[in-house]
Amino acid sequence: MIVVMQVAASESDIALVRQTIEGRSLKALVMPGGERIAIGIPSAIPPEERDDLAAALSALARVDHVAHVTRPYKLASREFHAASTRIEIGRLSVGGTELQVMAGPCAVEGEAQIQSAAASARAAGARILRGGAFKPRTSPYAFQGLHEAGLALLRDAARANDLLSVSEVMQPDLVGLVAGYVDILQIGARNMQNYPLLIEAGRSGKPVLLKRGPSATVDEFLLAAEYVLHNGNPNVILCERGVHPLDRSYVRNTLDLNVIPVLKELTHLPVVVDPSHGIGVRRHVPPMALAAIAAGADGLIVEMHPDPQRALSDGPQSLSPAEFAALMRRLETLAPAVGRTL
Ligand code: PEP
Ligand code: MN
């Protein structure tokens, strides 16, 4: 943290800043500049004191501003963990050279549907089966998912096709139940800042796919990940899934591809992209999937339904099995150009 004084600051203004810092058993380093004086705090500030100290210093006379030089998140930051994290899940690794593709329907609808989706995902080269059993739907009248029965169908379809599984958990008291059926817990965009859920997912130790909220800033996203990490779970995969668009005439959301290189610089955690919710229009999903990998994503989560026309949720953005297989072939061609394997 650095306190930058106004040009008019006097010796006594500077002394008061120094006393405020030293009063908290921290070091104060007065740095004379051309016109202005800055006071740096070279010692580590306990995270729980940062906001309070910054507020106290900002309120002092002739303090121009207080600048933070380290990030508010510690465990998620590359500053303290330079090497990229690889998350080992069964025999798979997320965040290494190998790209990981998760595919399957928005929601598990029944045994035949999820078994068929799993077989198509596997045949095309995906290694993780997705399928929601607890669905966060905008309308209470929309299909809400098959709940525990859906989780069992997802688990069985994944096992039968030698795939891992991912499914959403919406409430803290169901973390244990969902974790008993799946390999990866999905925390949905709407729940990115559900702190009790993040804490419980942290305590579970189960790999977490954390989706970015549609209006979340990068710092809010990484602080949400920090909650999971801070509660003892190092296995967090970040997922960009589109932010609120300027214009909904043609797309559902705006896939924020900018965030991929930004996150890769700020954090060591793997980053995957959901182009299905990201753009929300089936025919536009493949180009955005390719763009995400070209921009440095470690993998994808893609909605694919055996019969998208009849899907109970998100049919308009779901690929058919043939479209998904065609996307996988294009990803195979792209991967080596960006130093990845599929
Ligand atoms: C989903 O993956 O089906 C889903 C509901 O996604 P999001 O939380 O990104 O809207
Ligand atoms: Mn969906």
Ligand 1 pocket member 252 (CB < 6 A): no
Beta pairing class for 29-32 and 37-40 = antiparallel
> How far is the C-alpha of 94 from the C-alpha of 282, rounded, in Å?
26
Q: Amino acid letter at 214?
A: P
What are the distances in angstroms from CA 119 to CA 115, 168, 176?
6, 21, 27
**Residue 205 pLDDT grade (very low, low, confident, very high; cuts 50, 70, 90):** very high
How far away, in angstroms, is 139 Cα from ligand 2 center?
14
- pLDDT (tens digit per residue) in 2-57: 999 999 999 999 999 999 999 999 999 998 888 899 999 987 888 788 889 999 99
Integer Cα distance of 153 and 133 in angstroms: 9
Give the pLDDT of residue 79.
Answer: 86
The Cα 325–Cα 342 span in angstroms is: 13
Q: How far is the CA of 205 from the centre of ligand 1 (A)?
A: 22
Cα angle for residues 26, 31, 37 (degrees, 5° grid): 110
Averaged pLDDT for residues 179-186: 98
CA distance 54 to 48: 11
CB within 8 Å of 18: residues ≥ 6 apart? 28, 30, 39
Per the CB < 8 A criterion, the answer to whether 313 and 143 are in contact is yes
- Alpha carbon distance 125, 189 (integer Å): 26
Q: Render 276-316 in DSSP notation, one character per residue.
A: HHHH--GGGHHHHHHHHHHTT-SEEEEEB-SSGGG-SS-GG
Q: How many CB atoms lie within 10 A of CB 81?
A: 16
Ligand 1 atom nearest the C-alpha of 277 is 9
| DSSP designation for 59 | T
Q: How much is the pLDDT for 44?
A: 80
Any ligand 1 atom below 6 A from CB of 241: yes
Q: What pLDDT was estimated at residue 234?
A: 97
CA 220 to ligand 2 centroid distance, Å: 23
**Does 105 sit in the ligand 1 pocket, CB within 6 Å?**
no
Dihedral pair phi/psi, residue 330, rounded to 5°: -70, -35
Say yes or no to pLDDT of 68 above 90: no
* Nearest residue to 201 (alpha-carbon basis) of 161, 229, 166, 163: 229
What is d(CA 194, CA 206) in angstroms, rounded to the nearest whole number?
17
Residue 283 tokens, joined: 């025919």
Proximal ligand: closest to the CA of 194: 1
Q: Give the integer Cα–Cα distance in Å for 136 and 331.
A: 30
Q: Provide DSSP, 264-285.
A: HHHB-S-EEE-HHHHH--GGGH
User: How far does the centroid of ligand 1 lie from the alpha carbon of residue 169, in Å?
Assistant: 11
- Tens of pLDDT, residue by residue over 206-242, are 999 999 999 999 999 999 999 999 999 999 999 999 9
Q: What is the pLDDT of residues 260-317, one digit of tens each?
A: 999 999 999 999 999 999 999 999 999 999 999 999 999 999 999 999 999 999 999 9
- To 5 degrees, how large is the angle CA 109–CA 129–CA 170? 65
Can you tell me which residue has the tokens 């740096």? Answer: 40
Condensed to tens digits (0 to 9), the pLDDT of residues 117-141 reads 999 999 999 999 999 999 999 999 9
Q: Mind listing the pLDDT tens digit for each residue in 92-122?
A: 999 999 999 999 999 999 999 999 999 999 9
**Residue 47: what pLDDT?**
78
What DSSP designation does 217 have? -
* Euclidean distance between CA atoms 97 and 95, whole angstroms: 7
Over its C-alpha atoms, the chain yields an Rg (Å, rounded) of: 23
Residue environment code for 285-303, b if the CB has 16+ CB neighbours within 10 A, otherwise e: bbebbbbbbebbbbbbbbb
Atom 3, ligand 1: residue with shortest CA distance: 106
Which amino acid is present at 111? E
Residue 155 near residue 134, CB atoms below 8 Å: no
Average pLDDT over residues 168-173: 98
Distance 210 CA to ligand 2 centre (A): 15
Rounded Cα distance between 132 and 134, Å, is 6
